Amino acid sequence: MKAYYTKNKAIISNPYQPARCCIAAMATIFLLITPTAFAHKLNMFAYVEGDEIFAEGYFTDGKKAKNSTITVFDPDNKQLLQGTSDDDGQFTFAIPQQSDLRITVNAGMGHQAEYVLLKDELSDETGIAITTTSQPSNTTSDITSNNNDPQTTALPPIATRIENGAIRAEVERAVGKAIKPLMRELSTMRAEKSLADIIGGVGFIFGLFGIAMYFKSRKQP
């Protein structure tokens, strides 16, 4: 007990020690309280649903990029269309053409992010959408006009085909809906940086200045 007391007294008697301890403690608390630290970085995310493209801009702290300009470019950097996002930071538009699309969102004050939708993502989705809408109508018109008599033989395959189309569209919608939060989670995770990265950056700074100091000290005898 006495040893502790004298120790404490010795620390306090040094004028710089309490301040230093205080700063160190504050720094550690500060770092521990905010385990996931990130900045006001704008992110952009776009996905195809049916024959429409949903584009969404958001900041890493979860705020949506409202009223920001969303522009779509083709691979040759030609502007295809432009629009303004709604209160949820979303902008929906029909697929302008079958090619890679570069979508940028500009939230003003120098914040801009971009997202590239590949042609595969477009054509795959729309291909299904087209088959689901066109095939059943063709086949149904076929049955009604040509085959009136033997419903028992003709119907099952056609019915399953129709059902297949409907099911496919339904599944697509359901999967799209289920994946949506996952995709959002993924893109935020990609944007977030952990504490380890920050500490790594600080290490870089000390390391670089250490190198600078080494060379400086060799120059000055």
Partner 1 sequence: MHISDGILSAPVLIAGFIGTAAVAAYTLRQLDLDDIPKVSVITSVFFVASLIHIPIGPSSVHLILGGLVGVVLGIRAFPAIMLGIILQTILFGHGGVTVIGVNTMMLGGGGLMAYAVWQLRHHFNINKKEMIFGGLAGAMGIFSAGIVLALSLVTTGEEFIATAWYTLIAHIPVMIIEALVVGSCAAFLARVKPDALAGQLPLVTPIPAPATTTTTEATKASNEDSPK
Name the residues that contact partner 1, by CB under 8 A.
15-16, 19, 30-31, 34, 37-42, 61, 63, 104, 106, 108-114, 191, 193, 197-198, 200-202, 204-206, 208-210, 212-213, 216-217, 220
Task: Give CA angle at 187 (184, 189), nearest 5°.
Answer: 105
Tell me the CA distances in angstroms from 50 to 72, 121, 122, 183, one per residue in order. 18, 11, 9, 17
Rounded least distance, CB 203 to partner 1, Å: 9
d(CA 115, CA 105): 9
Minimum gap (Å) between residue 114 Cβ and partner 1: 6
Task: Please report how close the Cβ of residue 191 comes to partner 1 at its closest, in angstroms.
Answer: 8
Output 161 or 193, the one with its CB closest to partner 1: 193
DSSP 10-63: HHHHSSSHHHHHHHHHHHHHHHHH-SSB----EEEEEEEETTEEEEEEEETTS-
Q: What's the sign of the alpha-carbon dihedral 78, 119, 95, 185?
A: negative
Whose tokens are 């969303």? That residue is: 70
Least distance to partner 1, CB of residue 208, Å: 7
Which residue number, 79 or 151, has a Cβ lying nearer to partner 1? Answer: 79
Compare residues 177 and 216 and give the one whose CB is closer to partner 1.
Answer: 216
Shortest CB 145 distance to partner 1, Å: 55
Task: Report in angstroms how near the CB of residue 146 gets to partner 1 at its nearest.
Answer: 57
State which residue, 11 or 212, has the beta carbon closest to partner 1: 212
Query: In terms of CB distance, is 40 or 119 closer to partner 1?
Result: 40
Q: Which amino acid is at 212?
A: A
Residue type at 152 in one-letter notation:
T
Q: Which is nearer to partner 1, 41 or 168 (CB)?
A: 41
Rg (CA), the chain: 30
Tell me which amino acid residue 104 is.
T
